[in-house]
Structure 1
Amino acid sequence: MKKKIFTQDYYKNFPGYPSKERLAKARVVVIECVQDIPCNPCETICPRKAIVVGKPITNLPRLIEENCTGCGRCIPICPGLAVFVVNNNYNDKESTISLPYEFLPLPEKGEEVIALNREGEKVCRAKVISVLDPEKNNRTAVITIAVPKEYSGEVRGIRLIRKNP
């Protein structure tokens, strides 16, 4: 059996991953960027300067937790699809995850979908809470789903359940 390396514990070691305390407090961005490449759109778009790449531009993005409101403007701008917003205070049993989505058709609000881990494997079922697809996002929709709290650090994608007509 293949050993999984892309787990929540792996990403916790990078500067874009929020602390356990911050994740428990309120909605916050989770940056799972692990490549030293010249890239900084997340830093540029953040209105609160909560994401810092600095110089050189190949630095990994660093999260300034106290500045982040979890607005999500950084989600669709990331060319690596490595930015998410997690809200562990959605309700008593569920967390929400806002994630980038570049497939068609788009899911619909209220639809049930399959929540996937970083390797594309099924984790659980999820409910679509919102679908944002403004033209300014250049065809990267932001889908917010509700999942059981215990999966908020594991779920990073979705698959539609719909049957083809």
Structure 2
Amino acid sequence: MSGELLSKGILTTEYLQSLSMFPSEERMKRGPVAVAECTEKIPCNPCEASCRFQAIYIGENISNTPKINFDACVGCGSCITACSGLAIFVLDKSYSDTYGTVSFPFEYLTELQEGDMVDAVDRSGQVVCKGTVKKIIITKRSDRTPVIKLEVPIDWVNDVRGIKLR
């Protein structure tokens, strides 16, 4: 297990890659793809049921961690709002040569609007770059949890996981 995960409780991209839980750079450059940053074996499987492309597999033992078939995933994001642990993100490095997008659940009340420039934070909550809110997705299925699609410099797509409130 990653030393940083054990000592600080913070996942790293490298740790997720070591568990085959992170898509390759090549896959991310082909279009949006989901990443399940769920490493705890807890009984939960709504992400598997939400994927109409059958790209997420948990199996009969619902305490298994989700496995994503990155080639089958189309990055639709239906799994983001299905995840009660707020542990699924959609990454896209095909957006442009210099910017990518990160889509994530956002449960805070705010007056955030599309086009807003915000501080993007990593898994530890540290500001790492500026981002632009490209889309705020609110659906009936999301149970009032909006999904924010944030444009960030492409070098930060692997690490950005939220925004800092003003």
Q: Could you tell me the TM-score, scaled by structure 2's length?
A: 0.90
User: C-alpha displacement at 1:135, in angstroms?
Assistant: 2.8
User: C-alpha displacement at 1:7, in angstroms?
Assistant: 1.6
Amino acid at match of 1:47: R
Determine the C-alpha separation between the residues in 2 that align with 1:131 and 1:91.
Answer: 20
User: C-alpha displacement at 1:138, in angstroms?
Assistant: 0.7
Q: 2:22 aligned with 1:17, yes or no?
A: yes
Name which of 70, 90, 94 aligns with 2:75.
Answer: 70
1:50 aligns with 55
2:89 aligns with 84
2:127 aligns with 122
Residues 7-50 of structure 1: per-residue CA shift (max 9 Å, x gap): 21112233442233212221111111100011110000000000
Residues 70-117 of structure 1: per-residue CA shift (max 9 Å, x gap): 000000110111100011011111000110000011521000111000
Q: 2:123 aligned with 1:111, yes or no?
A: no
Q: Quick check: 1:98–1:144 contact (8 Å CA) kept in 2? A: yes
Structure 1 residues 15 and 78: alpha-carbon distance in aligned structure 2, compared to 1, 3 A threshold: farther
2:154 aligns with 149
5+ residue gaps, structure 1, are none
Amino acid at match of 1:122: V
Structure that is richer in helix per residue: 2
Determine the C-alpha separation between the residues in 2 that align with 1:72 and 1:106.
Answer: 23
Q: Quick check: 2:13–2:22 contact (8 Å CA) kept in 1? A: no
1:99 aligns with 104
Q: 2:31 aligned with 1:35, yes or no?
A: no
Residues 104-146 of structure 1: per-residue CA shift (max 9 Å, x gap): 1152100011100001110111000000112321121100000
Percent identity, aligned pairs only, is 40
Q: Partner of 2:155: helix, strand, or coil?
A: helix
Q: Quick check: 1:50–1:68 contact (8 Å CA) kept in 2? A: yes
Q: Partner of 2:81: helix, strand, or coil?
A: coil
Aligned length in residues: 160
What is the RMSD computed on CA atoms of the aligned residues? 1.6
5+ residue gaps, structure 2, are none
Determine the C-alpha separation between the residues in 2 that align with 1:63 and 1:6.
Answer: 17
Q: Partner of 1:22: helix, strand, or coil?
A: helix
Structure 1 residues 131 and 142: alpha-carbon distance in aligned structure 2, compared to 1, 3 A threshold: same
Q: Partner of 1:115: helix, strand, or coil?
A: strand
